[in-house]
Amino acid sequence: MSIKQLSVFVENKPGKLLEIVKTLAEAEINIRAMSIADTRDFGILRLIVSDIEKAKEILSDDCVVTVTEVIAVEMSDKAGALSNVLKAFGEAEINIEYMYAFTASTELGAYVVIRVDDNCAAEKVLAQEGIATLDVSAI
Amino acid sequence: MAQHYYQPEIETASREKILEIQNEKIVKQVRHVYDNVPYYRKLMEEKGVTPDDIKSVDDIKKLPFLTKADLRDAYPYGLLGTDLKKCVRIQSTSGTTGKRVVAFYTQEDIDIWEECCARAIVAAGGTNEDVCQVCYGYGLFTGGPGLNGGSHKVGCLTLPMSSGNTERQIQFMMDLGSTILCCTPSYAAYIGESLAEAGYKPEDNKLKAGIFGAEPWTEEMRRSIEKSLGIKAYDIYGLTETSGPGVSFECSEQTGMHINEDHFYAEIIDPDTGEVLPEGSKGELVFTSLDKEAFPLLRYRTRDICVLSRKKCSCGRTHVKMSKPMGRSDDMLIIRGVNVFPSQIETVLLNEGYTPNYQILVDRVNNSDTIDINVELTPEQFSDKVSETQAKEKALESAMRTMLGIGPKVHLVPPKSVVRSEGKAVRVIDKRKLHD
């Protein structure tokens, strides 16, 4: 199952990231996972949050935002766990655009958020391999 | 559509009739200036021209030019054509290209100026049943007072809003049902955005027309404003030196602005040689005011590059039309030897689906000019992938290179981060001037 990720365009200047995080904090929106891709001029902040609709609404006033479907995969916090997941994608020729990893207090202890070019194919592969995906409430 | 004119007899007069008026006025005007403006008299003497040499508008080409530099030299009273006792008003330029210009007006000058603005309002469909919201700046700037006076002459209910306080502009617009909006095109675009943000659709307002001027704008920007406000947008042209807005204005055909030829004689010259060019040539626009008393400029070089056309107009007006200025030498940037006009950059942005909110930064690094353009990103152009967002920048850079002939660096920036004034937009920051 894919989950919704909020991407926010951020100017690469001191204090800009704080403004966004502060806005979310004031609206009592929890950040479950995040990553930043940066270039010289700008960064793209990617967020998995507790209430995406609300987060999108409040950030849209001052920022450019977009919602993307990504996949969250749960795995054991052990050597080789990620390699199993990526092997399955590689064999099915599913391209990974980007990913970010987190450890968490879930049963298995680790998960990655993966952005692929084809969500349907990726979910099918993961199901075949018996690898669990998460919905946002589980993160 | 039925055509209406504010002064039908003069606005639709035959070519012969207009020439007759012009010839009669120029003889008197040159004599007036020669007798009352020692600064210009000296220029005429240097050129060996006397008022007797000027018998018709054909002889205007014998007269010396006036430039912005002359206005600076003669500041403040050097070009005054009447006793100050007869003057009732001054107006002044924004001073964006150096020292301010101060222009003087007699009551007669103001009446003529306001009549010119009234012609523009009627050409945009204005009648005494309209509610005309004027949000050009009031005060020294000619925009507010000019359109305000024109609106009074037409008999519109006039809302003298001045610029700024957009929330109040919108409140008055909605509560009082404004039908005509007068402001700079960048402010019109801003009002359009603000209306949408406040949740209004274009059909929610009662506006039917907008009269926009005082800064360069493109056809693309016209279409975007027309869509966002649900109106027909008309261009108006003028400069403080010749009176203010209303020197020329657009009609329903929207293919150029009719110059009020009974008051202003227009020439197109080669900006390098000063030679008068034939109709249809692109060159610098030069105005001679035919009947101004207090500030009677002869052959004033506007620095605006445009084309004149006498092609028959479907609106029935017979006065010559000038194209939208294609560039302005004060605005024109010379970057690595190439002439760059901000209007070209705006055209690229609108063609590529961006808003016309941009800022050009020019600098000189290691003796070489650099040009950077900050462009506001729109949600439609944004992707969560770095590669795609960077590809958008590259695509814009490539489109700019094709249009400008030089390659600028494009930087996408968040919306509303480009400085936007509620009067004129600050489009260009040229840091090279600081080093020179």
Q: pLDDT, tens digit, for every residue of B172-182?
A: 999 999 999 99
CB atoms within 10 A of CB A112: 20
CB A8 within 8 A of CB A65: yes
What stretch(es) of chain B map to CATH 3.40.50.12780? 1-326
pLDDT of res. B436: 46
Chain A residues close to B417, C-beta within 8 Å: 11
- Closest partner residue to B414 among A9, A46, A68, by Cβ? A9
Mean confidence (pLDDT) of chain A? 87
Q: Which fold has domain A2-68?
A: VC0802-like (3.30.2130)
B106-110 mean pLDDT: 98
Pick the residue of B384, B385, B409, B413 with the most A CBs within 10 A to test the interface with A by mutation.
B384
Residues 6+ apart with CB under 8 A from A10: A16, A17, A20, A36, A42, A43, A44, A45, A63, B414
Q: Does domain B1-326 have CATH number 3.40.50.12780?
A: yes
Q: Does domain B333-435 have CATH number 3.30.300.30?
A: yes
The model carries a pTM of: 0.65
Q: Of all helices (H) and strands (E), which one includes residue B293?
A: none
Cβ–Cβ gap A9/B385 under 8 Å = no
Kindly provide the b/e burial profile for residues B93-117, where b requires at least 16 CB atoms within 10 angstroms of the residue's own CB: bbeeeeeebbbbbbeebbebbbbbb
**Chain A nearest C-alpha distance from B398 (Å):** 18
A70-138: CATH, from 3.90.1150.10, 3.30.70.260, 3.40.50.300, 3.40.50.1000:
3.30.70.260
pLDDT of res. B42: 97
Q: Using the predicted structure, report yes or no on whether residue B96 has a pLDDT greater than 60.
A: no
Residues 6+ apart with CB under 8 A from B281: B268, B307
Classify the phi-psi angles of A36: left when phi > 0, otherwise alpha if psi is within -120 to 50, otherwise beta: beta
- Closest partner residue to B413 among A11, A44, A62, by Cβ? A11
Could you write out the three-class secondary structure of B407-429?
Answer: CCEEEEECCCCCCCCCCCCCCEE
B289-314 mean pLDDT: 95
Query: B342: buried, middle or exposed (CB in 10 Å: 19+, 13-18, 0-12)?
Result: buried
Q: Using the predicted structure, report yes or no on whether residue B138 has a pLDDT greater than 50.
A: yes
B287 pLDDT band (50/70/90 cuts)? very high
What does the alpha-carbon distance between residue B347 and residue B221 come to, in Å, rounded to a whole number?
A: 8
Q: Using the predicted structure, report yes or no on whether residue A4 has a pLDDT greater than 90.
A: yes
- Closest partner residue to B389 among A44, A98, A115, by Cβ? A44
Cβ–Cβ gap A41/B412 under 8 Å = yes
Give the angle subtended at the CA of B332 by the CAs of B331 and B338, to the nearest 5°: 160
Cβ–Cβ gap B415/A37 under 8 Å = no
Cβ–Cβ gap B384/A44 under 8 Å = yes
- In total, the C-beta contacts within 8 angstroms joining chain A to chain B are 51
Chain A residues close to B379, C-beta within 8 Å: 60, 64-66
- Closest partner residue to B415 among A39, A64, A98, by Cβ? A64
pLDDT of res. B312: 95
What does the alpha-carbon distance between residue A122 and residue A134 come to, in Å, rounded to a whole number?
A: 13
Q: Which tokens is B413 given?
A: 């920036």
What does the alpha-carbon distance between residue B314 and residue B320 come to, in Å, rounded to a whole number?
A: 13
Chain A residues close to B415, C-beta within 8 Å: 62-64
Chain B residues close to A46, C-beta within 8 Å: 384
Cβ–Cβ gap A46/B384 under 8 Å = yes
Cβ–Cβ gap B379/A65 under 8 Å = yes
The residue extents of the domains of chain A are 2-68, 70-138
Q: Tokens 């002869």: give the residue.
A: B298
pLDDT in tens, B187-244: 899 899 999 999 999 999 999 999 999 877 888 889 999 999 999 999 999 999 999 9
Cβ–Cβ gap A39/B386 under 8 Å = yes
What does the alpha-carbon distance between residue B161 and residue A105 come to, in Å, rounded to a whole number?
A: 60
Question: What single-letter amino acid sits at B127?
Answer: T
> Which residues of chain B are at the A interface, by a Cβ-Cβ cutoff of 8 Å?
377-379, 382-386, 389-390, 411-417
B142 pLDDT band (50/70/90 cuts)? very high
> Which residues of chain A are at the B interface, by a Cβ-Cβ cutoff of 8 Å?
5, 7, 9-11, 37, 39, 41-42, 44, 46, 60, 62-66, 68, 97-98, 115
What stretch(es) of chain B map to CATH 3.30.300.30? 333-435
Instruction: Return the SS3 of B2.
Output: coil
Q: What is the ipTM of this complex?
A: 0.79
- Closest partner residue to B382 among A9, A46, A115, by Cβ? A9
Instruction: Return the SS3 of A52.
Output: helix
Q: Which tokens is B429 given?
A: 């920051």
**Chain B nearest C-alpha distance from A48 (Å):** 13
Residue whose C-alpha is closest to residue B212's, from B244, B235, B230: B235
Pick the residue of A10, A13, A41 with the most B CBs within 10 A to test the interface with B by mutation.
A41
pLDDT in tens, A92-134: 999 999 999 877 665 667 788 889 888 888 888 888 888 888 7
Please spell the DSSP secondary structure of B324-358, one letter per residue.
PP-EETTT-EEETTEEE-HHHHHHHHHHTT--S-E
Q: Using the predicted structure, report yes or no on whether residue B417 has a pLDDT greater than 90.
A: no
pLDDT of res. B118: 98
Residue whose C-alpha is closest to residue B287's, from B278, B275, B297: B297
pLDDT in tens, B311-345: 999 999 999 999 988 876 656 787 887 778 787 88
Residue whose C-alpha is closest to residue B146's, from B76, B37, B242, B53: B242
For A13, nearest residue in chain B (alpha carbons): B413
